[in-house]
Structure 1
Amino acid sequence: MSLAVSLIAPSSFTAPEAVAAGIRGLEALGVEARCDATLQAPERYLAGSRAHRLAQLHAAFEDPDTDAVWAVRGGYGAAQLVDGIDWARLARRPKPLIGYSDVTVLLDHCHRHGLPAIHGPVAKAAGGLHDGDAESREIVRGQFEETLALIARPTPLDYPLTAHGPAPAALEGPVVGGNLATLASLVGTPAGFRAPPGALVILEDVGEPYYRLERALWQLVHGGALERAAAVCLGTFEGCTPYGETPLEAIVAETLAPLGLPLFCGLPIGHGLHNRPWRYGAAGRIADGRLAISG
């Protein structure tokens, strides 16, 4: 598949060797990965100053010869960019923004402004095409091939999931969400996440103890972010440490109880090996143990 993408670093600094490995992985899939020589100009733990990262984002969207804008990694810092983005400039050459984790905030705001966005692996993860055992490499390859298909054309995909407790036989609505800690950090700010009516909200996270996950979800619930949602769907929670024997699903169900939202679990989406892509804001349908998302 012949595609060209613009790489950006809107959040944390990434080791140059990890960026290089990701570029090699994309090239192995036939993707031309373009980035400035000054992709990163490290400042503290960030990939660059706010002005540097904003300029890079605008330039990537304005490049007439690329098909998508792909974040190198997440981490921290994307929310700093939201109020400085010239959305009219981005809309002149609409192309999908790809990423997840901290990039969640940018995906959500692209969708709000009518721009395409894909919640999927960051560019550096393409280095996994060359690392690890054969099974892991094939899983990574499949996820990147699905992501490239979503860039090229509307492509329906479906994902396994299971209901935790009572749930309707079928639910339909726009699919939104992303990283739980990132979304919770925006509560009470102008950039705050609010699920659209009937939304199927996907949540995932990494490296957080269960009490922090509960606190973050409490912020979303009581900050009004989920009051119009139709369901919550959990992806993976890689390296998230329990307290005692209470499973995370039970904690989430208890916290969601005031809203009466059905809960689904088991999506292969998140910070672990399994991170299948999905088009942010696309129409979704939950039925028969699957989440189907339209192209």
Structure 2
Amino acid sequence: MNLNIYTVKKTIWITSTARKIDFTEIEAATMLLMKWGFDYKISKTIGLENHQFAGTDEERASEFQYAMDHPEIDAIWCARGGYGTVRIIDKLDFSHFKKNPKPIIGYSDVTVLHSHLHTLGLTSIHATMPINIEKNTMEALQSLKMALLGDKLDYKIKSSAENKGGVAQGQLVGGNLSILYSLLGSESSIQTANKILFIEDLDEYLYHIDRMFINLKRNGYFDQLSGLIVGAFTDIKDNTTPYGKTVKEIILDVTSTYNFPIVFDFPAGHIEDNKTLLIGKEVLLTVKKDLSRLEFL
């Protein structure tokens, strides 16, 4: 799909599909949108509270459905992650949305939406969320603005010593590793053949990461994969008895029998410099000794 169809004209809807959030936590994001020349509307989920969630499942689903179907809402920006998007995904009707798509923006728990949209042949925007705006780097924010305006994204980063060199082209898929793992076997589980997989995660134990990677392998995620992009793995924990491998060592071990290029330390995920990625777009991944590049085609 041509990204130009996703160029945001005017109004961005801010909603929460997961954890509760109040108005003060999205104020910086609304000010930023106005600075960029966009209008915004705030969902009823902002300020709602149902235990840890931003309203009941029905309330969160209803607000999201309204935004998907409303002709004057040009994009949907998820306010924060946490947990809860998977609880509403099967309550949503995408029939109208497939004919009139618009960007859905977010990361972390929003991987549920990215993955489901990808199975429908639609693109989406993996990017920072309103709750993070005050902590993000200017470069991360600029990358989101470029995506909203339909400008081309092209990233060049210093290569990690652990990278596996090579060149690959394909659609970019993926997101949060724990969410991808949790979607296996469901209608929202993605296919990775001839594609470039991006992964990131937060607050996981090393043995959990190994278990998830082994399960992705057993589900065929790597069999015909063209390339792997490893983003930030933040606040990773170990047991009292050390697991014995780093995140990079776990990934290299599980994927050791495959020949696709791997780039580590890509600036995206639960970090301040959370660069924007276009899920479902064709990309060219080039991994060299000194420099790696991700070009959106």
Distance 2:141 2:260 in 1: 32
TM-score, structure 1 as length reference:
0.86
Distance 1:2 1:82 in 2: 26
Distance 2:20 2:252 in 1: 35
Q: Bigger CA drift: 38-47 or 72-81?
A: 38-47
State the SS of the aligned residue for 1:10. coil
Q: Residues 124 and 33 of structure 1: is their aligned pair in 2 closer, same or farther, counting only changes over 3 Å?
A: farther
Q: Who is 2:15 aligned against? A: 8
Q: Who is 2:293 aligned against? A: 291
Distance 1:82 1:161 in 2: 37
Distance 2:201 2:103 in 1: 23
Distance 1:13 1:279 in 2: 26
Q: Which of the numbers 67, 74, 90 marks the counterpart of 1:83?
A: 90
Q: Who is 2:187 aligned against? A: 190
Distance 1:65 1:84 in 2: 22
State the SS of the aligned residue for 2:208. helix
State the SS of the aligned residue for 1:257. coil
The AA in structure 2 aligned to 1:229 is: L
1:241 aligns with 2:237: yes
Q: Residues 72 and 286 of structure 1: is their aligned pair in 2 closer, same or farther, counting only changes over 3 Å?
A: same
Q: Is the 8 A contact 1:69 1:96 kept in 2?
A: yes
TM-score, structure 2 as length reference:
0.86
Q: Who is 1:126 aligned against? A: 133
Q: Residues 30 and 124 of structure 1: is their aligned pair in 2 closer, same or farther, counting only changes over 3 Å?
A: farther
Q: Bigger CA drift: 200-209 or 57-66?
A: 57-66
Q: Who is 2:280 aligned against? A: 281
Q: Residues 39 and 230 of structure 1: is their aligned pair in 2 closer, same or farther, counting only changes over 3 Å?
A: same
State the SS of the aligned residue for 2:198. strand
Q: Who is 1:178 aligned against? A: 175
How many residue pairs get aligned? The number is 284
The AA in structure 2 aligned to 1:268 is: P
Q: Bigger CA drift: 17-26 or 105-114?
A: 17-26
Distance 1:75 1:233 in 2: 23
Q: Which of the numbers 31, 52, 76 marks the counterpart of 1:24?
A: 31
Distance 1:282 1:161 in 2: 23
For residues 228-276 of structure 1, the C-alpha deviation after alignment (integer angstroms, 9 at most, x for no partner) is: 3122211111111254663211111112235454432010011011100
Distance 2:186 2:98 in 1: 24
- CA shift, 1:73, in A, is 0.7
The AA in structure 2 aligned to 1:222 is: R
Distance 2:203 2:164 in 1: 29
Distance 2:82 2:223 in 1: 27
In structure 1, stretches of 5+ residues that fail to align are 129-136
Q: Who is 2:148 aligned against? A: 151
Q: Is the 8 A contact 1:8 1:70 kept in 2?
A: yes
Q: Who is 2:209 aligned against? A: 213
For residues 153-178 of structure 1, the C-alpha deviation after alignment (integer angstroms, 9 at most, x for no partner) is: 25232242636668453111111111
In structure 2, stretches of 5+ residues that fail to align are 1-7
Q: CA RMSD in A?
A: 2.4
- CA shift, 1:280, in A, is 0.6
Distance 1:212 1:3 in 2: 42
1:199 aligns with 2:206: no
Q: Who is 1:255 aligned against? A: 254
Q: Who is 1:43 aligned against? A: 50
State the SS of the aligned residue for 2:51. coil
State the SS of the aligned residue for 1:178. strand
Q: Is the 8 A contact 1:54 1:81 kept in 2?
A: yes
- CA shift, 1:84, in A, is 2.3
Distance 1:205 1:161 in 2: 21
- CA shift, 1:3, in A, is 3.7
Give aligned-pair identity as a percent: 22
Q: Who is 1:101 aligned against? A: 108
For residues 268-292 of structure 1, the C-alpha deviation after alignment (integer angstroms, 9 at most, x for no partner) is: 0110111000111111112243232
For residues 209-231 of structure 1, the C-alpha deviation after alignment (integer angstroms, 9 at most, x for no partner) is: 21111112222111223333122
1:68 aligns with 2:82: no
Distance 1:192 1:13 in 2: 26
Q: Is the 8 A contact 2:19 2:84 kept in 1?
A: yes
